[in-house]
């Protein structure tokens, strides 16, 4: 074979490979992304090979002397065993180093959790999406809570292999009141025909890679917003850093216009109408808290925290998107944390901002609770026992147990179509879990155990004093005081009146018997 032929045989495959890497931006991004993840695993065999080479050089020197045969065999086996052990050690220790990388911006404090606003449970938002879609024939692909608008966002895929999204839906689901406002925005199926996971040129991930290589995303992080009748799909992006210890960092967002099909990538996330920090990255940071201690603590699971996975939070037990109660407009991914192991009480709460500028990890704060909570499963059992008159009948159930500031928690009670009550607690005070039943809008009804000095305890004391004054003012020789117009009574006043009537009837029946 001549020199020219050899050049052609080598040059053509290299040229074709270069053209593939230049043209197939989506495929090469996936190859590089997944290949970098394997670097930590490749480090183990590389260490083994390097160690064996050193052993081989040592054997060569030993064989030059007398009795080198038996010594060479011993050194060979010793080198193989040590090299294998070194490789396994790196695989384990590399995972610990990866968790430590995600711990860079974690701050552990004893300060109370900032006050957070309660919202309708995620499962309620999910259940109420389908009835409000009307004649839409597509399939729901994503539901996200948008803290800026205090609404739930639903993204619906259009049926078919070569199609994009059909509609976006934003719905208002208040805890109190009857407002059920909603807004639906339709995609232009001709101009905007791409979606996450679509086929060929209808794949939104491929379009993102065409504009910027080496960034990826988690499909569950994407959501839709409606500006009038125009939908916009927001996709928080991530990039990789590191060589042997590879971790992820935020990389801005991709904005896909549902009317024109225009795709924009930006790192200026201030004007994004929703969360811009990837929820999946916040979850990975929270998982990294397992490495808050030494390697031995990490290995034996003696440090860090886990998300509570029992009780009402099943299916949605971490990274609750909640607004702060102040007027700053800020929001955070909030997770109740339990110690690693068999312990199930909630001892800390983690917060990660939903918005973050720059290419570094967002700051994560772990607030140690004092007092701590019982586990969500125990809290559900407590609610059913203490408030059996309102929970749980027919389709009613206890929904999310979420942090709402300080060391307090809030659980919602009702059905997927109608939230009736909320139960608020302040942790285990004096060996007992405090809790109060309130209407969905926050109006206090009663308490199983009110913390002394708390606003609920003060309100109950005020009501009792007011009741005593009314009873004293209503006493007369001629009979009882007219209760007046019952339509002016609040629900809790009516409930109290009904209870007093029932108690009086029972007392008189016993007396006459």
Q: Which two tokens stand for residue 173?
A: 């689901």
What is the model's pLDDT at position 249?
95
- CB–CB of 214/240 below 8 Å? yes
Alpha helix stretches (DSSP H) within 2-38:
3-23, 25-37
What is the model's pLDDT at position 114?
92
Burial class (CB in 10 A: 0-12, 13-18, 19+), 488: exposed
DSSP string, 383-434: HHHHTTTTS--TT-EEEEEEE-SBT-EEEEEE-SS-EEEEEEE--EETTEE-
What is the model's pLDDT at position 312?
67
What is the model's pLDDT at position 431?
77
Half-sphere exposure of 121 (CA within 13 A, CB side): 29
**What is the C-alpha to C-alpha distance for residues 224 and 209, in angstroms, rounded to an integer?**
20
Q: What is the DSSP letter of 234?
A: E
What is the model's pLDDT at position 502?
76
DSSP string, 298-313: HHTT-SSEEE--SGGG
Q: What is the DSSP letter of 479?
A: -
Residue 422 CA, distance from chain mean position? 21
Nearest to 209 by CA among 169, 242, 251, 151: 251
**What is the C-alpha to C-alpha distance for residues 42 and 39, in angstroms, rounded to an integer?**
5
**What is the C-alpha to C-alpha distance for residues 481 and 98, in angstroms, rounded to an integer?**
73
- CB–CB of 351/363 below 8 Å? no
What is the model's pLDDT at position 471?
73
Q: Is 72 helix (H, G, I), strand (E, B) or coil?
A: helix
Series of mean pLDDT values for 10-residue runs along the chain (513 residues): 55 57 75 83 68 67 57 62 71 88 92 90 84 83 88 91 91 75 89 90 92 92 92 95 90 94 91 90 94 90 83 72 87 91 82 92 93 86 87 81 88 86 87 87 87 86 84 58 64 75 70 51
Q: Is 204 helix (H, G, I), strand (E, B) or coil?
A: helix
Q: Which two tokens stand for residue 416?
A: 């997927």
Task: Return the percent helix, strand and coil in the chain, to nearest 5.
Answer: 40, 25, 35
């Amino acid at each position: 074979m001549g020199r020219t032929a050899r050049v052609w045989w080598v040059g053509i495959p290299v040229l074709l490979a270069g053209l593939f890497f230049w043209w197939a931006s989506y495929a090469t991004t996936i190859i590089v992304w997944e290949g970098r993840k394997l670097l930590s695993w490749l480090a183990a065999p590389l260490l083994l090979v390097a160690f064996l080479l050193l052993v081989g050089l040592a054997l060569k020197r030993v064989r030059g002397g007398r009795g080198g045969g038996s010594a060479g065999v011993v050194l060979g086996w010793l080198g193989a065993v040590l090299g294998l052990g070194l490789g396994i050690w790196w695989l384990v220790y590399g995972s610990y180093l990866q968790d430590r990388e995600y711990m860079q911006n974690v701050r552990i404090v004893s300060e109370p959790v900032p006050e957070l606003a309660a919202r309708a449970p995620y499962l309620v938002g999910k259940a109420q999406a389908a009835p409000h879609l009307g004649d839409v024939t597509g399939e729901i692909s994503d539901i996200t809570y948008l803290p800026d608008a205090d609404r739930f966002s639903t993204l619906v895929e259009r049926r078919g292999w070569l199609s994009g999204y059909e509609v976006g839906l934003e719905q208002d689901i208040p805890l109190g009141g009857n407002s059920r406002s909603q807004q639906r925005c339709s995609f232009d199926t001709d101009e905007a025909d791409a979606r996450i996971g679509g086929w060929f040129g209808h794949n939104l991930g491929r379009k993102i890679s065409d504009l910027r290589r080496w960034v990826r995303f988690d499909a569950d992080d994407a959501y839709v917003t409606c500006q009038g009748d125009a939908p916009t799909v927001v996709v928080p992006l991530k990039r990789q850093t590191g060589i042997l210890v590879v971790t992820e960092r935020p990389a801005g967002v991709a904005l896909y216009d549902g009317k024109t099909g225009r795709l924009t990538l930006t790192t200026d996330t201030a004007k994004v109408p929703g969360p811009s920090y990837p929820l999946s990255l916040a979850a990975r940071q929270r998982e990294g808290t397992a490495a808050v201690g030494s390697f031995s603590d990490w290995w034996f699971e003696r440090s860090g925290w886990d998300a509570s996975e029992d009780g009402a939070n099943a299916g949605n037990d971490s990274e609750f998107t909640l607004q702060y109660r102040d007027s700053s407009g800020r929001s955070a991914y909030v997770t109740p944390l339990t110690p690693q192991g068999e312990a199930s009480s909630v001892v800390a709460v983690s917060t990660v901002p939903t918005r973050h500028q720059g290419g570094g990890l967002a700051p994560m704060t772990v607030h140690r609770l004092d007092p701590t909570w019982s586990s969500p499963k125990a809290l559900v059992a407590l609610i059913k026992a203490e408030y059996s008159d309102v929970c749980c009948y027919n389709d009613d159930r206890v929904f999310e147990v979420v942090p709402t500031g300080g060391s307090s928690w809030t659980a919602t009670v009702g059905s997927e179509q109608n939230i009736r009550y909320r139960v608020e607690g302040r942790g285990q005070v004096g060996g007992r879990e405090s809790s109060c039943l309130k209407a969905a809008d926050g109006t206090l009804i009663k308490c199983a155990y009110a913390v002394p000095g708390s606003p609920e305890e003060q309100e109950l004391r005020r009501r009792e004093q007011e009741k005593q004054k009314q009873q004293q003012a209503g006493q007369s020789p001629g009979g009882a005081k007219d209760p007046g117009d019952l339509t002016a009574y609040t629900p809790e006043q009516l409930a109290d009146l009904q209870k007093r009537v029932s108690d009086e009837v029972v007392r008189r029946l016993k007396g006459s018997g």
